[in-house]
Structure 1
Amino acid sequence: MRHIKALAIKLIAVLVLSYIILGLFFNYSIGNVLTLTLLIWIVSYILGDLLLLPRTNNLTATISDFATAMILTWFYLANITYNENNLFLVSFILSIGVAIINWFFHKYMMSNVIREKESYVQTNNFHYQTEASEEISPDKSKWKKDNS
């Protein structure tokens, strides 16, 4: 139930942002806005919120969500647009907005969805144990000589 609520919050936030930026400012159709929103929503939830956020921190997951939104938006709009708009600018503006939303959404995720028992081991918490011996090289005088 926690994940369903988080998915709904993220879907609504990304859909409203995408509609404002893509629909109102750059005149993309609601079908294109909805399709792109669903792509960004699913990929960033799985990659940024479920895989990276528990293992790293908010900044790393937000940068990942920015890059994911930038790549998905750029490739999707490149396939449906005939050079009406500057695709990099549109993708960059939408990605900045998605990153800002996800910065706050990650705080919600850490406090309400991801619990302490679900957190993963940090990569810098490993404690290695090594073996050591007193001698660096063997003492040949202590070897038994074969008298055969």
Structure 2
Amino acid sequence: MKFIEVLLMKFAMVFAVLFMIFGLTYGTGVFDIFLISLVVTAVGFIGDLIVYPRTSNKVATAGDLVLDFILIWLLAALWIENPDFSIVMASIYSAVLLAAGEWFYHIYLTKRLWEHKETSHTLKQEPNRK
């Protein structure tokens, strides 16, 4: 159940960002935005489950930035017919906004899915034994 919750949260974030950039700004259809959001969410979630636990939030967010840009750019180029805007620029704007959201999503993912209370890299120091 927790996987579904965090997956839906990610989809909501991706759809909201793509709707703001592609839908409201450039007038792209909701169905195209929905399809792109599904693919970006699925691929990104798999990456979150594999990359993020083994690295840091910075590395996972940077990876999401690159992955989101490439996926959005390619999928938009394939699925949006006759765009009257620069798909590359819209993809860059979307990827940057998504990366900002991913930073906080990773913290949410850590707390909700793996139930860790601490999200920083601080280690508890053991008391000095003499």
Shorter-chain TM-score: which interval?
0.7 to 0.9
Distance 2:105 2:90 in 1: 22
Q: How does 1:116-127 map to 2 (within 5 A)?
A: none
Match of 2:53 in 1: 54
Computed over aligned residues only, the root mean square deviation of the Cα atoms, in angstroms, reads: 1.4
The AA in structure 1 aligned to 2:64 is: D
Q: Tell me what 1:12 maps to.
A: 12
Change (3 A) 1:74 1:13: same
Alignment gaps of 5+ in structure 1: 117-148
Q: Deviations 1:61-87 (Å, cap 9, x if unpaired)?
A: 111111111001111122234352112
| Aligned counterparts, 1:98-137, within 5 A | 98-115=98-115
The aligned residue for residue 65 of structure 1 is 64
Shift of 1:57: 0.5
Unaligned runs of at least 5 residues, structure 2:
117-130
Bigger helix share: 2
Q: Write the deviation string for residues 8-50 of structure 1: whole angstroms up to 9, x where unpaired.
A: 1111111111111110001100011000100110000001x10
Identity of aligned residues (%): 27
Aligned to 2:121: none
Contact 1:54 1:114 in 2 (8 A): no
Offset from partner CA, 1:73-109 (integer Å, 9 cap, x none): 1111222343521121101000011111111000011
Q: Helix, strand or coil for the counterpart of 1:78?
A: helix
